[in-house]
């Protein structure tokens, strides 16, 4: 099993003056702890289920570029980019640039998008659900073209690109993760276009995940895709207990508790768990993270 870290809050102590240095330390700690991947939310406003919409939120790809400069091995992605946030060709050029500058460590994390409030707030169009899924499928098709140096004219359902030139090419073709567990559309797109799915431990748990993966397997059969080619990832809340105070309601895990919980997710079919920690800025937490990484490997 591989472990990753998702950072969803940037309201660091002393922010915004401290934000750059704090994020630098988080990225370095994650890299040195042996985590496989580092992810940020790609939102403009904070999500209501995490904090107040007015809480500090950084733009995703600028943040990842900063992390790329101070890390050596860890892979980098957004969990996930709403397809409405950037024009598809620009998004793919951005991901390619991150891949080149990081030496081949970028992911394309993408989904249909859902956060209407931030679109309305910043004046960005927010199409209907059906239109967003059409845009998502066009973007996935265009990604396969642009990442393979095919600049022939592309005409999709809603996107037309006369010459989708993408130079330089990625150092490594960025793996594509489609976020969400929608059984009719989202998991079909995973089967058809993606290298990884992303499910949520919260709400599904080890008991509910196998059903989603069974649905994914059915879609793979329908499109002639090898189910085993797809990495099964999930986002889980997992905070290591260093003895320092934690936010109210947050349970700190020992190494043994973390290994047990991750083992249950592994038994459910997950091979890459992306952890959302409540104490990402606690340097001491990463010594425990490193032990967990070693144990679950």
Tell me the per-residue pLDDT of 72-81, one tens digit each, with 9 for 90 and over. Answer: 999 999 999 9
pLDDT at 4 over 90: yes
| Confidence at residue 202, expressed as pLDDT on a 0 to 100 scale | 76
Please say whether the beta carbons of 53 and 117 come within 8 A.
yes
| Confidence class for position 48, pLDDT limits 50, 70, 90 | confident
| Confidence at residue 88, expressed as pLDDT on a 0 to 100 scale | 98
Neighbour count for residue 247 (Cβ, 10 Å):
8
Upper half-sphere CA count for residue 57 (Cβ side, 13 Å): 17
DSSP state of 174: P
pLDDT at 112 over 90: yes
SS3 state of residue 122:
helix
Q: Which runs of E-coded beta strand occur in 211-295?
A: 231-237, 239-240, 252-253, 272-276
Q: Tokens in use for 159?
A: 């996107």
Backbone phi, psi, residue 54, to 5°: -85, 0
| Confidence at residue 116, expressed as pLDDT on a 0 to 100 scale | 96
pLDDT at 203 over 80: no
Tell me the per-residue pLDDT of 147-190, one tens digit each, with 9 for 90 and over. Answer: 999 999 999 999 999 999 999 999 999 999 999 999 999 999 99
pLDDT at 17 over 80: yes
Tell me the per-residue pLDDT of 209-237, one tens digit each, with 9 for 90 and over. Answer: 999 999 999 999 999 999 999 999 999 99
**Helix (H), strand (E) at residue 197:** strand 196-200
| Confidence at residue 128, expressed as pLDDT on a 0 to 100 scale | 97
| Confidence at residue 49, expressed as pLDDT on a 0 to 100 scale | 84
How much is the average pLDDT of 22-32? 98
pLDDT at 143 over 80: yes
Cα 157 to Cα 246: distance, rounded to the nearest angstrom: 48
| Confidence class for position 46, pLDDT limits 50, 70, 90 | very high
| Confidence class for position 204, pLDDT limits 50, 70, 90 | confident
Neighbour count for residue 168 (Cβ, 10 Å):
10
Q: Tokens in use for 195?
A: 């290298």
Tell me the per-residue pLDDT of 58-70, one tens digit each, with 9 for 90 and over. Answer: 999 999 999 999 9
Cα 125 to Cα 119: distance, rounded to the nearest angstrom: 6
How much is the average pLDDT of 74-91? 97
What residues are paired with 60 via a beta bridge? none
pLDDT at 205 over 90: no
3-state DSSP of 234-263: EEEECEECCCCCCCCCCCEECHHHHHHHHH
Neighbour count for residue 287 (Cβ, 10 Å):
14
Tell me the per-residue pLDDT of 271-285, one tens digit each, with 9 for 90 and over. Answer: 999 999 999 999 999
Cα 43 to Cα 114: distance, rounded to the nearest angstrom: 10
């Amino acid at each position: 099993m591989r472990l990753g870290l998702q950072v969803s809050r940037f309201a660091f102590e002393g922010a915004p003056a401290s934000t750059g240095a704090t994020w630098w330390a988080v990225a370095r700690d994650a890299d040195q702890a042996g985590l496989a991947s580092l992810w940020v939310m790609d939102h403009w406003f904070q999500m209501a289920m995490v904090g107040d919409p007015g809480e500090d939120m950084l733009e995703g790809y600028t943040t990842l570029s900063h992390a790329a400069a101070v890390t050596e091995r860890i892979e980098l992605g957004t969990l996930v980019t709403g397809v409405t946030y950037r024009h598809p060709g620009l998004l793919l050029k951005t991901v390619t640039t991150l891949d080149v500058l990081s030496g081949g460590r970028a992911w394309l994390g993408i989904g249909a998008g859902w956060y209407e409030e931030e679109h309305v707030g910043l004046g960005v169009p927010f199409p209907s659900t059906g239109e967003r899924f059409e845009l998502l499928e066009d973007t996935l098709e265009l990604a396969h073209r642009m990442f393979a140096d095919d600049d022939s004219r592309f005409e999709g359902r809603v996107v037309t690109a006369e010459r989708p030139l993408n130079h330089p090419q990625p150092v490594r073709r960025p793996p594509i993760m489609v976020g969400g567990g929608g059984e009719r559309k989202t998991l079909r797109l995973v089967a058809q276009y993606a290298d990884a799915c992303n499910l949520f431990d919260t709400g599904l748990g080890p008991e509910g995940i196998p059903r989603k993966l069974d649905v994914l397997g059915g879609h793979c059969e329908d499109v002639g895709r090898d189910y085993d080619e797809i990495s099964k990832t999930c986002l889980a809340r997992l905070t290591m207990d260093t003895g320092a105070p934690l936010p109210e309601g947050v349970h700190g895990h020992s190494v043994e508790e973390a290994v047990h919980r991750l083992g249950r997710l592994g038994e459910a079919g997950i091979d890459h768990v992306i952890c959302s920690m409540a104490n990402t800025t606690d340097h001491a937490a990463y010594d425990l993270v490193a032990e967990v990484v070693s144990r679950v490997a």
